[in-house]
Every structure is written in C-alpha cells, then in structure tokens.
A and B are shown apart, each in its own frame.
Chain A
Amino acid sequence: MDKRQLSVVITDMFKNLTPSQVSVFLKNADTAIVRVVSDAFKGMTFSSRAKLLNSQFKQQQPSLFQERIYIFEAFTKDEVAQLHSKKQEPPSDQVSKGYRESAREAE
C-alpha cells in the first residue's frame, strides 16, 4: 500500500472524529506519522488521544496496524494554529516553564 492509499484508509478510519485534517507522513518503510486534527480531542490528554486513535486503528485495520509503527499526532484546531506561531503560550494551569523554555528565552 502506498502513501496515498494509506492516507485514504486512515482518513476513512477516523471520520467518526469529524477531523478537519488527516495527514500521513511515511518517515521510512517501518514508521508512519499520522496527524489528526479535530476538536473532538478537546479536554483530552495527549496520551488519551493517542490511545483512542491506536485502539480504533487496531480494531478496524488489524493487519495494516501490525505492518509498522504509527506515531499519532492528535491536535485540536487551536493547538495546530499555535504550533505554527513562533512562541507558544503555555496554558494557565501549567507547571513551571522549566529550563528548556527559559533557555530558549535566553537565546
């Protein structure tokens, strides 16, 4: 199955989430990155979203599921918009910024 066919199958698989975007990137023969953008993910942790997509995929396409690694990128529309902005503002309930972000600011 080529990338186009894989994209079609995966898009159909996740249509119940009414996604605004589904994209598939084949990193290599053994690894695919599946991005699903949907506001159905609002209020869910990233782990919960990944488990939802993983479980649905495994159930609906067990053979295809076993063929390779799938890294799931599950974002809401707002989160995707923030990914593209230069600086992300952390949510209000965040833990401390941490050294990585402070290091970035210091650059």
Chain B
Amino acid sequence: MAQVNWTILKDRAATYMKSCESLLATGDNELVQNALESAHLAVELALKSAIGRNGGHYPDFGRRGHDLSELVLCKFEDGLSSVLLKAKNDQNTSIINLGLTAWTMDCRYQILNNRANMVEAISDYKEFYIWIRDSFLS
C-alpha cells in the first residue's frame, strides 16, 4: 500500500487533536472516551507523518500499523535516525515512556474506566503529540 503524504497525515493528526480538545471541553463523561481515542489517533498519525517526512516507511497494515511502540522505532531514510533516537538525543525518553504507557493502559488493558484516568492519559498523549509535532513536523 502506498504511504500517505506526510503533510496529509500531519493535518489529520492536528484535526484529531482538535477534536480531542473539543470533546473534552464539553464536560460530557461519555465523550471523554471519544476524546481519548482522538488523542491516540493524533499521536499515531503524527508518528507516521514524522516517519514519512524523513523518508522512512511505516507499517501500514495489520496490528503493526497501529502499534505506537513500533512506530517510534521505525528508521528514517538514513537507516539510523528514528523518533526514539531523537528523544534519546534530547534526553527526553520520558515523553515516549509516558505516552506509550497511556497507550498500553488504554488499548491493551482497556483499564482507563473513569474520567480521571482518561483525562490524565489524554494529557500524556497530548504532550507526546506536541513533542512529535515540534520536533519533526514544523
């Protein structure tokens, strides 16, 4: 499957994050889960955009295509760089640790059942998204 142009992915990621913020602002508990899912998608598409912009090739099918822990390891065109390498160079692997932890608790264990957990997971996703955007997509 052809990789989607990185600018399209960047814009879609931004739209998902905007959706997340709008849903959260409603104060409706049912919509908080939608906000969480939007934040997750924002991070996923931002990672794919970062990889694409730098000449890398992200997995675009099956579970691997949605595995954030794989996407951060995807090599860029030079065969060396990756999102993780950038985080290491920035001494900022915490941002990946916390973003992937939120992802694991939500997607693997589906254990973020109350508002407080979801809101904090959204905050962790958002920080991760902003770092990806500012580091690779600006």
Contacts and interface: CB of A to CB of B under 8 A. Distances in A.
Interface of A: 27-28, 30-31, 33, 45-48, 50-51, 54, 58, 65-66, 68-73, 79, 83, 88, 90-91, 93-96, 98, 100-101
A95 B91 CA distance: 37
Contacts of B114: 91, 93-95
Given A65-B93, A69-B96, A45 B120 contact: yes
B98 A46 contact: no
Interface stretch (B18-26, B29-37, B38-46, B49-57): B29-37
B112 interface: yes
Given A65-B93, A95-B30, 11 more contacts: A46-B117, A71-B69, A71-B100, A71-B101, A72-B101, A73-B109, A79-B111, A95-B29, A95-B113, A95-B118, A101-B110
Contacts of B91: 66
A38 to B, nearest CB: 16
Main secondary structure of the interface of B (DSSP, over half): helix
Contacts of B88: 66
B96 to A, nearest CB: 5
B96 A47 contact: no
Interface string B92-115: 011011101110110001111111
B33 A58 contact: no
Contacts of A27: 69
